[in-house]
């Protein structure tokens, strides 16, 4: 019998998962969205269940793909409906809060393994779903303290099926990592868009001077506002610490500008280039 | 007779110009680099002259493609060798200094029209030359106070031949525009690479957490260090003013983090997204 995979919240991430998993003949896919209009869109990608309960019953794997801050209540609701060996995963961007939120749900450690795929686009919704979204991307798995090893292995195996690279780590380390590499850059790009917005009315030159570099730098600022509002509030501590360090660096740059410090700037840009080239 | 076009400094920008102009059968291209090793590389893209003097004599158009801070001396050297109607252009990123540097060269206004194409890559050298580098890109033309109109029109016509969009503007306005849209983002991206470099040794998570967003955001930090050293020093005033405004914005964000200000953040990210989407 085919293993049933339930995708709850078929948007960009859930829809892309559906497209990627469709290639596996041994899986039976079912989707569910809370809103009727979203269920209609989801139905273009995979069969949609008549209710949340029907969507998860008999499922081998349930993936919660909504970037919801209500993970605790949702999981509490699902647990009575699933099988003894059902694996549940989420895909949300901050993990410490999720680990906290599910604490105390009876038996949760036998089902739920928190996950975060480092994949996305600046466009939301199932319309932009892409079967290759996860290919070659890191997926962080931040197990609950009492998750059984086989359950974590099953989670890792699931992500490998869609071409992703699972990395098991601690929720706190994860949140610090993405604060630096994802949340801080998002704030910085959004702040530059605000400065641009305040300035562009003064002369047509500002719009004319927008080139490919500016576009690359600010691309992430087009991300989903509600998702980013949640992220910066949930992970505020780590983001604040990096933002503060970053601001001190900028203050130092400002002090050194226009002082004829040719060697300082050469070494500053050489170091930045060397670090960036190593990321290729 | 075919019009002769001289490209002085055949690197990424000059090489790309050569490839784009080659498609025009009515032009005769000649290149020149100061270093013998660079002339050898240039020779793969276009005929190379035996001397700088030979490269520019009888030329209808001379394009100075080195990002050199020695524009004044170079132009002073060239003027005696060229024809009465030769157009000379440069491609450097800051224009105010160039306009200053050429002041007082006899007859310079009849030849030299300062230009800045908003085109480039994070890779340097003729090896990365691309015939489509200029296609659809803005090229700023910042005329000298006494440039004759026909000369400026000739400059605009030249850039249209390679698919670029000429925009005539004032050198000071130009330098302010690119300070916001190019020079500031470059500093910000380079500063984030430094913060990443200082942090990554503390845990493998930081490297693992580098996703597509971080790569987009920091791509420009891989640019040519000597070119960027010159840019930030020459345009320090405008950059400093925007950097200071930007730092004040970041300080405000930092104060608002972790305060449960859900509506503030929602509106902050919505505004950033709306501004970014308008740039598409």
Tokens of B240: 């400093």
Contacts of A254 in chain B (CB under 8 A): 240, 243-244, 247
Residue-wise pLDDT for A5-19, tens only, equals 999 999 999 999 999
Section B272-280 average pLDDT: 93
Average pLDDT, whole number, for chain B?
Answer: 95
What's the pLDDT score for residue A124? Answer: 82
By DSSP bridging, strand B3-8 and strand A165-168 are unpaired
**Cβ contact, residue pair A232, B187, below 8 Å:** no
User: Could A192 and B246 be called an inter-chain contact, meaning their C-beta atoms sit closer than 8 Å?
Assistant: yes
Q: Provide, as residue numbers in chain A, all residues whose Cβ is less than 8 Å from the Cβ of B189.
A: 217, 272
DSSP of A152-184:
HHHHHHHHHHTT-EEEE--HHHHHHHHIIIIIH
Q: Residue B50 has what pLDDT?
A: 95
pLDDT band for A208, please (50, 70, 90 cuts): very high
* Largest pairwise CA distance in chain B: 73
In the sheet that holds A3-8, the strands lie side by side as A27-32, A3-8, A61-64, A87-90, A112-113
Nearest to B206 among A181, A193, A218 (CB): A181
B263: closest chain A residue by CA: A229
Substitution target from B166, B238, B257, B278 for chain A, most A beta carbons within 10 A: B257
Instruction: Indicate if the pLDDT at residue B25 is higher than 90.
Output: no
Nearest by CB to A203, from B173, B184, B220: name it: B173
Q: Does B188 touch chain A (CB under 8 A)?
A: yes
- Top residue of A93, A128, A165, A181 to mutate, by most chain B CBs within 10 Å, is A181
Confidence check: pLDDT of A248 > 80: yes
| pLDDT (tens digit per residue) in B84-118 | 999 999 999 999 999 999 999 999 999 999 999 99
| Cβ of residue B239 closer than 8 Å to a chain A Cβ | yes
Chain B touched by A186 (CB under 8 Å): yes
Q: Is the pLDDT of residue A168 over 80?
A: yes
pLDDT at A280: 73
| d(C-alpha A143, C-alpha A171), whole Å | 8
Query: What stretch(es) of chain B map to CATH 3.40.50.720?
Result: 3-169
Among chain A residues, the shortest Cα distance to B271 is held by A194
Q: Which fold has domain A3-169?
A: Rossmann fold (3.40.50)
The domain made up of A173-278 has a fold known as 6-phosphogluconate dehydrogenase C-terminal fold (1.10.3660)
Strands (E), A73-185: 87-90, 112-113, 115-117, 138-141, 165-168
**What is the nearest CA distance from B12 to chain A, expressed in angstroms?**
16
Q: What is the pLDDT of residue B68?
A: 64
The nearest CA of chain B is from the CA of A93 a distance in Å of 11
Average per-residue pLDDT in chain A? Answer: 95
pLDDT in the model for residue A122: 80
Q: What is the pLDDT of residue B67?
A: 67
Instruction: Give pLDDT, residue A67.
Output: 67
What pLDDT is stored for residue B71 in this prediction? 84
CA distance to partner chain B, nearest, from residue A174 (Å): 7
In chain B, list all ranges with CATH 1.10.3660.10: 173-278
Q: pLDDT band for B121, please (50, 70, 90 cuts).
A: confident
Instruction: Band the pLDDT of A125: cuts 50, 70, 90.
Output: confident
How many CB pairs (< 8 A) connect A and B?
Answer: 300
pLDDT at residue B136 greater than cutoff 70: yes
Question: For an interface test with B, which of A197, A257, A274, A278 has the most B Cβ atoms less than 10 Å from its Cβ?
Answer: A257
Both tokens of residue B139?
């090229």
pLDDT digits 0-9 by tens, A33-45: 999 999 999 999 9
Query: Is pLDDT of A257 > 80?
Result: yes
| Interface pTM, i.e. ipTM | 0.92
pLDDT tens figures, A42-88:
999 999 999 999 999 999 999 999 866 678 888 999 999 999 999 99
Distance CA A11, CA A111 (A): 23
pLDDT digits (tens, 9 = 90+) for B146-189: 999 999 999 999 999 999 999 999 999 999 999 999 999 999 99
Q: How many residues does chain B have?
A: 280
From the list A174, A216, A254, the residue facing B219 with the nearest CB is A216
B167 touches chain A (CB under 8 A): yes
Note whether B178 and B107 are within 8 A (CB).
no
């Amino acid at each position: 019998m085919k293993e049933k995979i339930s995708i709850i919240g078929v948007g960009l991430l859930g829809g892309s998962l559906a497209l990627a998993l469709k290639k596996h003949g041994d899986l039976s896919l079912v989707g569910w969205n809370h809103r009727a209009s979203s269920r209609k869109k989801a139905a273009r990608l995979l069969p949609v269940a008549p209710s949340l309960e029907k969507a998860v019953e008999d499922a081998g794997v349930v993936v919660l793909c909504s970037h919801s801050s209500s993970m605790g209540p949702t999981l509490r609701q699902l647990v009575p409906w699933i099988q003894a060996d059902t694996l549940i995963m989420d895909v949300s961007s901050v993990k410490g809060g999720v680990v906290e939120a599910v604490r105390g749900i009876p038996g949760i450690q036998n089902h739920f393994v928190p996950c975060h795929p480092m994949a996305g686009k600046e466009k939301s919704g199932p319309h932009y779903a892409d079967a290759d979204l996860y290919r070659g991307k890191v997926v962080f798995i931040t197990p609950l303290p009492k998750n059984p090893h086989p359950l974590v292995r099953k989670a890792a195996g699931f992500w490998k099926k869609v071409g992703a690279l699972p990395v098991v780590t601690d929720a706190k380390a994860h949140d610090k990592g993405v604060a630096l590499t994802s949340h801080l850059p998002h704030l910085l790009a959004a702040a530059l868009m605000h400065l641009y917005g305040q300035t562009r009315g003064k002369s047509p030159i500002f719009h004319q001077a927008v080139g490919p570099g500016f576009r690359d730098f600010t691309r992430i600022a087009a991300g989903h506002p509600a998702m980013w509002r949640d992220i910066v509030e949930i992970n505020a501590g780590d983001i604040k610490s990096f933002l503060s360090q970053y601001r001190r660096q900028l203050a130092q740059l400002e002090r050194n500008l226009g002082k004829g410090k040719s060697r300082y700037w050469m070494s500053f840009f050489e170091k930045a280039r060397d670090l960036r080239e190593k990321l290729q």
